[in-house]
Amino acid sequence: MCDAGPHTRWRAFIARPQKESDSKVTASIATPAPSEEHDAFAALGLAPSLCDAVEAAGYRAPTPIQETAIPRVLEGHDVLGCAQTGTGKTAAFALPILHQLQADRNPGGWRGIRALVLAPTRELAAQIGESFQAYSERGSLRTLVVFGGVSKRPQAQALRRGVDVLVATPGRLLDLMGDRAAVLDGVQHFVLDEADRMLDMGFIHDVRRVARALPRERQTLLFSATLPREIQSLASRILVDPVRVEVDPVASTCEPIEQSVYFVDKGKKTELLKRLLDGGEVDRALVFTRTKHGANRVTQQLLRARVEAAAIHGNKSQGARERALAGFKRGRTRVIVATDIAARGIDVKGLSHVINFDIPHEPETYVHRVGRTGRAGASGVALSLCSSEERGYLAAIERLTRQRLEKLETPAGLASEPSESQRPRASQPRRSQAGGARSGAGRSRSQRPRSRSRSGAPRPR
């Protein structure tokens, strides 16, 4: 749930009939309203040129977050959006921002930055930039994407020539601000995308520095799949009386995704992965590992098995990451093996399978991973390879998503122990209101775990 903290400044939602000024707008992801392609987006208030661009991009009807957010952004409201990946939220903020920028053109002269979008990863920043460029009217608005890992000199030169929309990762933007290449005093629209991922990656202080450099009079849009306390505090500082849009909360996974699990011996996961890829059902797969070393190791083992594979993680150069993604999108590479840095930055049409080679330690990460397939209502398959040591993490995923993953039969000789009867039940252990597991509630002193970390929390079993 995306519940606001007691000190936030958005208006509270109460159970009463909705009015135009209400602050919370909810929608169901499962049943988009049927309508004509062009007319459906025009009804949201978008310019005809943007409706044409959306139709050319393949959208058949607005997704729920687009239906709810676009009119509110066009009205000039700040927006607090709670939505997971794969719901179409990039278009939900890109389209209304482009509409307003096109309606308020600056003919001739130098172009200052009028819209700023912050994203946590290079891949997500590039994806957002591509969306802005695709929707822009015949390239009349200039969009620039900047991130680290490449030379900043060409980026600074492009900024000095003038851009309308800047999409950036926080660290590189601060570098360019320090060089006085990025001037933010003309920003009218500020978007913070994947705010909880910013927090996870340690960028939250950089985000605050950027926000302090912006004009006070601006429109601010914050999107996050979850709202931990730190994000609520940030929202209360940078948003003014925002409309709250909540679509498809993080505890749910999109219905078209078939989710299953294999219980496999830890040392035999690679053999099972190769068998799955040889089976003929997997067209293109995104395989997630927990570590960079693991991604490299799995990639090398697949290449030795003559499976076209490439790795993407933080130690790869930007050029290597871009080449790997380009090969994947064009069908030359069949498998991408990635760490979670790519979980919210890869958008590939026709991705048939997501495979969790390692079960993530955070259950929310599972939702973001599997959201790479089954996007925009398409079908997809998510497979998890679970060793006996990872069954506790699997149980946490099932508690969060409130569904039990289908158990598939593991090929002979690859199955893990303990048996299925020893698998943790999805209802245990209970969680406290703060979201943590209650390690000692309801047990006597002798029954409580003795091994504890320095922080006092029970060590993982």
pLDDT score, position 429: 44
User: Is-contact 167 117, C-beta < 8 A?
Assistant: yes
CA distances for 413 relative to 108, 263, 280, 298, 386, angstroms? 70, 11, 21, 20, 15
Place of tokens 């970390």: 453
- Name the domain boundary from 195, 219, 247: 247
SS3 338: strand
Q: Is residue 5 part of a domain?
A: no
pLDDT score, position 89: 87
213 and 353 share one domain: no
Q: Is residue 446 part of a domain?
A: no
* Dist CA 209 CA 121 (whole Å): 18
263 and 355 share one domain: yes
Return the closest-CA partner of residue 368 out of 388, 389, 338: 338
Q: Is residue 432 part of a domain?
A: no
Q: Is residue 270 part of a domain?
A: yes
CA distances for 309 relative to 77, 183, 272, angstroms? 45, 41, 16
SS3 264: strand
- Beta strands 165-168 and 189-192: pairing type? unpaired
41 and 169 share one domain: yes
221 and 347 share one domain: no
User: Is-contact 146 166, C-beta < 8 A?
Assistant: yes
261 and 398 share one domain: yes
53 and 174 share one domain: yes
Distance of CA 283 to the CA centre of its chain: 23
270 and 138 share one domain: no
Would you state the structure tokens that stand for residue 349, as one six-digit string? 């049409």
SS3 427: coil
Return the closest-CA partner of residue 141 out of 170, 159, 168, 114: 114
145 and 191 share one domain: yes
Return the closest-CA partner of residue 222 out of 367, 20, 8, 434: 8
pTM of this structure: 0.67
Q: CB under 8 Å to 225, separation ≥6 — which residues?
A: 82, 83, 84, 85, 194, 196, 197, 250, 364, 367, 368
CA distances for 196 relative to 89, 109, 228, 235, 401, angstroms? 15, 38, 7, 11, 18
Beta-strand (E) ranges in 227-291?
Answer: 243-247, 257-263, 285-288
CA distances for 131 relative to 50, 89, 324, 377, angstroms? 12, 11, 20, 19
Q: Is residue 147 part of a domain?
A: yes
Return the closest-CA partner of residue 221 out of 90, 314, 402: 90
Q: Looking at residue 295, which CATH number applies to its domain?
A: 3.40.50.300
* Dist CA 296 CA 173 (whole Å): 30
* Dist CA 197 CA 239 (whole Å): 18
115 phi and psi angles, rounded to 5 deg: -135, 130
* Dist CA 345 CA 330 (whole Å): 17
State which residues form the domain around 164: 24-247
243 and 286 share one domain: no
283 and 341 share one domain: yes
Q: Is residue 458 part of a domain?
A: no
Rg value, the chain, Cα: 23
* Dist CA 428 CA 244 (whole Å): 32
36 and 173 share one domain: yes
Place of tokens 């398409």: 378
- Name the domain boundary from 225, 247, 269: 247
What string of pLDDT tens digits covers the 461 residues of the chain? 454 443 333 333 322 333 343 444 444 334 344 345 568 899 999 999 999 888 888 777 898 889 999 999 999 999 999 877 667 889 999 999 999 999 886 655 567 999 999 999 888 899 899 999 999 866 679 999 999 988 999 999 999 999 999 999 999 999 999 999 999 999 999 999 988 888 878 898 999 999 999 999 999 999 988 778 888 899 999 999 999 988 765 555 555 688 999 999 999 999 999 999 998 788 889 999 999 999 999 999 999 999 999 999 878 887 888 888 888 888 889 999 999 875 566 777 778 899 999 999 988 888 878 877 765 555 789 999 999 999 999 999 999 888 899 999 998 888 876 544 444 554 444 444 444 444 444 444 444 444 444 444 444 44
Place of tokens 């959306």: 54
- Name the domain boundary from 247, 273, 293: 247
Q: Is residue 2 part of a domain?
A: no
Would you state the structure tokens that stand for residue 233, as one six-digit string? 């505090």
pLDDT score, position 439: 40
Per the document, the length of the chain is: 461
Angle at 1 between CA 359 and CA 72, to 5 degrees: 120
SS3 284: coil
Backbone φ/ψ region at 58: left (φ over 0), alpha (ψ -120 to 50), beta: left
Instruction: Provide the domain count of the chain.
Output: 2
- Beta strands 285-288 and 257-263: pairing type? unpaired
Q: Is residue 459 part of a domain?
A: no
Beta-strand (E) ranges in 357-405?
Answer: 380-386
335 and 356 share one domain: yes
